[in-house]
Amino acid sequence: MPLLQGPTVLTIDRILLATDFSQASEKAAAYAVGIARRYNSSLEIANVFDPSVTASYEEAILPSMAGERKKISTDNLQNFASQMPLDGIRTSIVATEGHRPADVLLEIAGEHQADLIVAGTEAKSGLARLILGSTAEKILRGAVCPVLTVGPLARTPKAGPLVFKTILYATDFSPEAAKAAAIALSFAQENAAHLFCCCVLNPNDEGFKTRDELQEGFLRRLKDSIPESAFDWCTPECVVEYGEAADRLLSLTQRMDADLIVLGARHSSFWLTRVEGGLTAALLAGANCPVLTIC
């Protein structure tokens, strides 16, 4: 049966931008601002100061230095926000402290009812080097709202309201993938976008069927998962690929010139297995567009 019964209305009233003031954060900020302008959203810019992270032995043992470092972090947040083109956007900043930044950010997102979390990554491979450090996995898995991650190869968006014209939705037909489908179709509806619905078959899936039989079966399953009404307000196209999931999705993204990847992320899933080198990590590191994950 279809993943959706009809069009949905996408609401992004509140955006939480997590930053560490890096170059990756600046690119993520550009996407957050563009989405805020597109959906008339409020934007909250947050940084979590972790006093346990020190650059020297002296910083670790002198309480006065911890206070100075926190002040510098707060000043950096103010400067970061002041350099963003925020005219006309309802904006607030949150400078807070915690030894577990992911927990703090998730708490802020929950308390303030964020509809979207935006973060950047300067990772070359895996999730370990996300700008939110080792907390990235917990944010992706723990957020109750979608998370937009902007990787190191993602294009910097143009100024003004952000419009996604080509969207790649990847599915493994899980309940989480169905949630992601709702978001992907909503973005497609709002932006009049071309939507590619993709399933990647693993070489180990062949079993007693030929590759052509597998592709035909999964292509039919993909088409059946899209409601007929979707064709009234977007242009969905089904694609079945064969091979390593990350490689095939990255190749599709380039061929189709996609400007957004959408996928579901189970807490222990096809998409988030082996976090250091899994599919989601590879997409975040290699995609030339943002990746939107929905748990």
pLDDT above 80: residue 228: no
Give the per-residue pLDDT at 231: 64
Where do we find the tokens 């709702």? 182
Higher pLDDT, 121 or 9: 121
Q: Are 144 and 111 in contact (CB under 8 A)?
A: no
Give the CATH class of 14-150.
alpha beta
What is the reported pTM?
A: 0.83
* Model pLDDT for residues 245-255, shown as the tens digit of each residue: 888 889 999 99
Give the per-residue pLDDT at 157: 94
Tell me the longest C-alpha to C-alpha distance in the chain.
68
Same fold, 14-150 and 166-294: yes
Q: What length does the chain have?
A: 295
Domain boundaries, the chain: 14-150, 166-294
* Model pLDDT for residues 126-168, shown as the tens digit of each residue: 444 444 444 566 787 789 999 998 888 899 999 999 999 999 9
Q: How many CB atoms lie within 10 A of CB 276?
A: 11
Higher pLDDT, 158 or 211: 158
pLDDT above 90: residue 184: no
pLDDT above 80: residue 11: yes
Query: Distance of alpha carbon 176 from its chain centroid, rounded?
Result: 14
If you ran DSSP here, which 8-state letter would residue 201 be given? E
pLDDT above 60: residue 49: yes
CATH of region 166-294: 3.40.50.620
